[in-house]
Amino acid sequence: MEQWAKVIWSDECAIKKDSDGKIVWVWRHKGKAEKYLPKNVRPRKRDGGLAQMAWGCFFGNKLGPLVFIDQGITKEVYVAMLAQNLLGYVDALREDSLQDIIFQHDNASPHTAKLTREWLKNEGEAHGFTVMEWPANSLDMNLIENLWAILKRELHRRYPDTKYLSGSPAKVRSILKERLSTIWWDIGEEVLNKLIESMPERVRELREAKGWYTRF
């Protein structure tokens, strides 16, 4: 747990105004015949399932910034976002005498682009952090996925009118940002500590699953 507490966990997430956190996983047989059956197709919403993209991170029991992204995430957008938000967070951690900081992100294209890798290498040397090598298809190992689930669940528990919000996309996203920020900063140290404490068990299950999914 001491090792996992030195990781900055990060990711992006698209949070739809109607994305209730009560997720149900459905396993289908391969093939278009079953994929496109009416019972397996979610109707498209008139507003396109309006969503707000966000990036967030945390380290140990210290919550990091929640950043809202209002454009497509390219390598340039991603690097600019990290420059504005990650570096200051790392510097604040080091001012608290925290060392051996490791930055984690998945293998999305903007994350693995040459521009991003070179920027992280240079800034890591300047600010005192390294970048974790992350295996593909490992959502169940990324602790911040649990925070996204909390955000979605609490959004609809605290603000049950969210899915019915109307108005321009800009107005709806403004309301979403305000509500999501409130929920994010209410996430306490106890939640983050429990996530870190879960990592040894997650790793054990991952090894036993031999490439298949885990209960996390």
**Identity of the residue numbered 61:** N
The answer to whether residue 49 scores a pLDDT higher than 80 is no
| pLDDT value of residue 43 | 63
Euclidean distance between CA atoms 3 and 155, whole angstroms: 32
What is residue 178's three-state secondary structure? helix
Q: What is the pLDDT of residue 203?
A: 87
- What is d(CA 199, CA 4) in angstroms, rounded to the nearest whole number? 7
Q: pLDDT tens for residues 8-46?
A: 999 999 998 886 555 566 677 777 778 778 777 766 655
Beta-strand (E) ranges in 1-81?
Answer: 7-16, 51-59, 62-69
**With respect to CATH, is domain 4-21+42-209 assigned 3.30.420.10?**
yes
Task: Give the tens place of pLDDT for each residue, 50-89.
Answer: 889 999 999 999 999 999 999 999 999 999 999 999 999 9
Q: Domain ranges in the chain?
A: 4-21+42-209
Reply yes or no on whether the pLDDT at 105 is more than 80.
yes
Residue 87's contacts (CB-CB under 8 Å, 6 or more residues apart) are 123, 127
* Res 207: pLDDT: 85
pLDDT per position as a tens digit, 125-156: 999 999 999 888 777 789 999 999 999 999 99
User: What are φ and ψ of residue 102, in 5° steps?
Assistant: -120, 130
Q: How far apart are CA 179 and CA 173, in angstroms?
A: 10
> Strand 51-59 vs strand 7-16: parallel, antiparallel, or unpaired?
antiparallel
Whether residue 202 contacts residue 165, with contact meaning beta carbons closer than 8 Å, is answered with no
Amino acid 42: pLDDT: 66
For 168-200, how does the pLDDT look when each residue is reduced to its tens digit (9 = 90+)?
999 999 999 999 999 999 999 999 999 999 999
Is the per-residue pLDDT at 116 higher than 70? yes
